[in-house]
Amino acid sequence: MPQFSNSDKQEHGKNAKSALESILLECKNYAYIKEIIKDYRCGYAEYDNAQFYCNFVIVFQDDTKWIVNITTSFRSDRLKGNQWDTYNIKEIDPSISKSVLVYPDDLSQDDKDDFLLYKFKIINKKHFSAIDDIVGQQELFELIENYANKNLSVGVKKDLQGNNFESYISTVLSNEKNLEKWKTSNPKLVGIHYDFFEKILFCFNLDKTTVSKINATSDKKVIGNLKTSGSPKTDIIVTVILENGTEKHFTISCKKTNAKSVSVHQYTSDAFADVLDSENEKLRTLLQKFQENGNLRDFGDENSIALRDELKPHLEKLVRWVIGGYGGKVQNQLQLADYILISDEKDIFIHTLEEYTQMLLKPENVSHFGTPFQWTFASGRKGKDIQLKCKIQK
Distance CA 383, CA 67 (A): 53
Strand partners, 12: none
Q: Which of 256, 291, 326 is the last residue of a domain?
A: 256
Q: Assess whether 187 and 230 both reside in one domain.
A: yes
Are residues 93 and 50 located together in one domain of the fold?
yes
Q: Are residues 274 and 306 in the same domain?
A: yes
Contact 391, 365 (CB under 8 A): yes
Q: What is the pLDDT of residue 3?
A: 64
Residue 271 included in any domain: yes
pLDDT for the residue numbered 216 = 98
The answer to whether residue 342 sits within a structural domain is no
CA distance 91 to 41: 13
For 116-151, b/e burial (b = at least 16 CB within 10 A) is: bebbeebeeeeeebbbbbbbbbbbbbbbbbebbbee
- The Cα-based distances of 3 to 75, 105, 110, 187, 360 in angstroms read 14, 18, 15, 10, 45
Task: For residues 98 and 29, state if they share a domain.
Answer: yes
Which residue segment(s) compose the domain that 212 sits in?
Answer: 157-256
Q: Are residues 142 and 164 in the same domain?
A: no
CATH number for the domain spanning 30: value is: 3.40.91.80
* Structural domain contains residue 32: yes
pLDDT for res 100:
98
Closest to 18 in 3D by CA, of 79, 102, 92? 102
Among candidate residues 101, 126, 148, the one where a domain is terminated: 148
381: number of Cβ within 10 Å:
15
* 166 and 125 share one domain: no
> Are residues 178 and 303 located together in one domain of the fold?
no
pLDDT tens digits in sequence order for the chain, 394 residues long:
566 777 878 888 899 999 999 999 999 999 999 999 999 999 999 999 999 999 999 999 999 999 999 998 888 778 999 999 999 999 999 999 999 999 988 888 898 999 999 999 999 999 999 999 999 998 999 999 999 999 988 888 888 888 899 999 999 999 999 999 999 999 899 999 999 999 999 999 999 999 999 999 999 999 999 999 999 999 999 999 999 999 999 999 999 998 899 999 999 999 999 999 999 999 999 999 999 999 999 999 999 999 999 999 999 999 999 999 999 999 999 999 999 999 987 789 999 999 999 999 999 999 999 999 999 998 889 999 999 999 999 9
Asked if residue 270 belongs to a domain, the reply is: yes
**Angle at which helices 154-174 and 6-29 pack, to 10 degrees?**
140
Residues 287 and 236 in one domain: no
Split into its structural domains, the chain has a count of 3
- Does 352 lie in the same domain as 289? yes
Residue 121 belongs to a domain: yes
For residues 2 and 9, what is the distance between their CA atoms, to the nearest angstrom?
10
Residues 26 and 135 in one domain: yes
pLDDT tens track for 178-212: 999 999 999 899 999 999 999 999 999 999 999 99
Residues contacting residue 338 through CB under 8 Å, at least 6 positions apart: 250, 251, 252, 324, 352, 353
Same domain for 43 and 132, yes or no, is yes
Is there a domain that residue 310 lies in?
yes
Domain boundary among 256, 285, 314: 256
Residue 340 lies inside a defined structural domain of this protein: no
Residue 343 falls within a domain, yes or no? no
Please check whether residues 166 and 179 belong to one and the same domain.
yes
DSSP at 164: H
